[in-house]
Amino acid sequence: MTKPSILVTRAVFPEVIDRLAQYFDVDSNQQDVALDGAALRQRLAGKSGVLANAADRIDGELVAGLPALRAVCNMAVGYNNLDVPALTAAGIVATNTPDVLTETTADFGWALLMATARRVTESEHWLRAGKWERWSYDMFLGMDLYRSTLGILGMGRIGQALARRAAGFGMSVLYHNRSRLPEETERALNARYVSKTELLAQSDHLLLVLPYSAQSHHSIGAAELAQMKPSATLVNLARGGVVDDAALAVALRERRIFAAGLDVFEGEPQVHPGLLTVPNVVLTPHIASASEKTRRAMADLAADNLIAALNAGPQAGRPPSLINPEVMAHRR
């Protein structure tokens, strides 16, 4: 019996490729060359499924030319790269990899927050440049986390994991979300729901972990930055586009806020040039989930989803992390 053909769009652990090869004819991009729209369309021709990367844009126009495609499985928790309505209309299963990266991402968010507040990278660059000649009382004064106010914009799994970490620092936790959490969850997290305006005005440290959508585009722009304390820090773990990077670069340069830590950017891997010229920002290349254990778990879950979605092996059936469950009733 001929195996279904699938595409793995970017390099992944060889063991995952070997596992997929038990069930599929695998076209694997282990050279890890980013596929643009035309190249992606060409490689997907005739494929039943794809294990995709968050940078792969799979939209209605692309799907319309791929009649064999039955499953798109993102190796990421976010899926703003997928046109889910178009996939659903075409009867194509869409999946992501939630849960497995929550704690690792929250750990990294905390590291980025501390590095930002305490000017870790700024002081390291200064030291490496040979500028440290003596100690002084005002050298690289930062902002305390202990007993400060933490604001969280977006209170899903990762936001809640960050709130739990705040307890060890004696922080007051404020949050704003599309929907308020149940009272028992708020009590467990010692978190208080406030308006977005209150969140911006009262937070000493603001963490962004909301999903990206057309509605959340530039949720933090010039107007929002102007509402923050001049002593506040901003950390973006969410997605590029949630923050107006150009406006942030101006606010940092003019010291309208104290500092920022960014793991995601608009148009990444490009970074707004203004962010590269200010000292009071910590920049990391989208690595919040980058522990080996977590990345393996993400790859394994994406493979589980693909195997189930294409009715292969012992996991055939309903994928464990469906984005569009309604499509299961009308599989083609």
d(CA 275, CA 216) in angstroms, rounded, equals 21
Banded pLDDT at 331 (limits 50, 70, 90):
low
Annotated catalytic, 239?
A: yes
Domains of the chain: 5-100+292-325 (3.40.50.720), 102-283 (3.40.50.720)
Annotated catalytic, 218?
A: no
Average pLDDT over residues 252-280: 97
d(CA 19, CA 70) in angstroms, rounded, equals 19
Indicate the length of the chain as a whole number: 332
Catalytic residue, candidates 41, 43, 157, 286 = 286
Banded pLDDT at 1 (limits 50, 70, 90):
low
Catalytic residue, candidates 103, 186, 198, 268 = 268
Structure token pair of residue 247: 């406006």
% of the chain surpassing 90 pLDDT:
92
Catalytic residue, candidates 119, 239, 272, 295 = 239
Annotated catalytic, 268?
A: yes
Average pLDDT over residues 100-128: 98
Banded pLDDT at 315 (limits 50, 70, 90):
low
d(CA 30, CA 13) in angstroms, rounded, equals 9
Q: How do residues 17-73 score in pLDDT, each as one tens digit?
A: 999 999 999 999 999 998 988 999 999 999 999 999 998 999 999 999 999 999 999
Average pLDDT over residues 273-279: 98
